Amino acid sequence: MAELSRREALISGAALGALGALGAASPAQALTGDWGWPASGSIAGSGSGADPRWVWDEVADPLLASLFERGVIPEVNRLLYDWNRNDQPLPAGLPEDLRAFIEQARQLPSWADPAKLDAGASFHALKGNYLVVLTIVGAGMLATAIPKEARAVYYSAGGADLKDRIAKTNILAYAVRPRNAWGPGGTAVVEAVKTRLVHAAVRHLLKSSPHWSGPIPITQEDMLVTWHTLATYSMRGLREWKVRMSATETEGYLHSVQMLGHMLGIRDEFLPATWDTSYTQSDLVLPRNMGSTREGVELNAILRDMLAELTSPGGIDKPLVNAFSRYLTGNQVADWNGIRREPLWDPVVKTAWPLLVRFREGLIGLPLVPASAWLLDEMVKKWTTYYLTRGAQTKIVIPTGNRPG
């Protein structure tokens, strides 16, 4: 993909020199807020001066630690299991401090704009297949090349059953799509709050894992990195593929992902206000947080096996999945992830996919689309159906331990 060369350089260029630090900041930087991105570019428009590399969730983290100490997590999971809708009252019997936290955390921010959220929902409906490719497949490949994220996933409970872990992650992808995602009857608020609780639980639990060393995981910067692998990466991909999008649609999509970031506990002072400020922040935080790990390589292999199995029983299309994965992320990330080169399929995918997108967007005629493009089209349709239906069939629950063994 010729258009990906700039994005590949941005993702990988500075990362080679940043692997040892993995985005760590010195205490002096933490105190001065010298992390390289101005809060004037955020939704808040200003900031406290905090460095997101040394900020976690000061509300949820002590709450979850207390719930673990009291031994009430299994009962909390039982009570919250059937709490599904945004407008649904919380079940009776929850610990009062947890109830107070959830009631506060479920409130939408003052800047929530229903019209923009409607535009975002329309965008999801119109560009759903592209978004699955970018936010599920492409972002999944990027995630395994982020050392802190890959290790946090691997050594937490979800790392032992990646299929279930991905299904739970994709609950949010399913929840934010409908027009009423954030309103009464929707589910996005509930799933975001539950995910925020899960993040706090993972922070608490991994501290006791013999395999975890270094700072507490899932900092504000870590969450921003994940946000960019979804939001900024996908918008760049759509624009590079020349997908037809109106200003209203792109602004609506940004608003929907800003809302998701806020509800997951990312501070407004760190969330980009525009796509331009998002690109600037992404170019800062992604390179210094990316690289290769044994855990990431193993997780990526499992992910590609899953995609190949979805494409065809027996996984006979694994070379095609490898080629598409390399195409989506570029050579550096693919090499970090241990993805083999496919001399037959790599050039085919690089040529066929852009032509397929241009055809779908009405930019070229059918005769210009190679036959190989329809293999990719069918593959993406299968992935889209699977991920969105799995997102409707599973539940997010607070983990009670780390990866077994």
Domain boundaries, the chain: 1-17+50-397
Supply the DSSP symbol for 136.
I
User: Could you list the pLDDT tens digit for every one of the 405 residues in the chain?
Assistant: 444 444 454 444 433 333 333 333 344 343 334 799 999 999 999 999 999 999 999 999 999 999 999 999 999 999 999 999 999 999 999 999 999 999 999 999 999 999 999 999 999 999 988 998 999 899 999 999 999 999 999 999 988 888 888 878 888 888 998 999 999 999 999 999 999 999 999 999 999 999 998 899 999 999 999 999 999 999 999 999 999 999 999 999 999 999 999 999 999 999 999 999 999 999 999 999 999 999 999 999 999 999 998 888 777 789 999 999 999 999 999 999 999 999 999 999 999 999 999 999 999 999 889 999 999 999 988 888 877 676 556 789 999 999 987
Report the b/e string of 340-378 with b at 16+ CB within 10 A: eebeebbebbbbbbbbbbbbbeeeeeeeebeebbebbbe
- 224 Cβ contact partners less than 8 Å away, ≥ 6 residues apart: 52, 261, 266, 270, 271, 281, 285
The crossing angle, in degrees rounded to 10, of helices 220-240 and 4-12 is 160
> Per the confidence metrics, is the pTM higher than 0.85?
yes
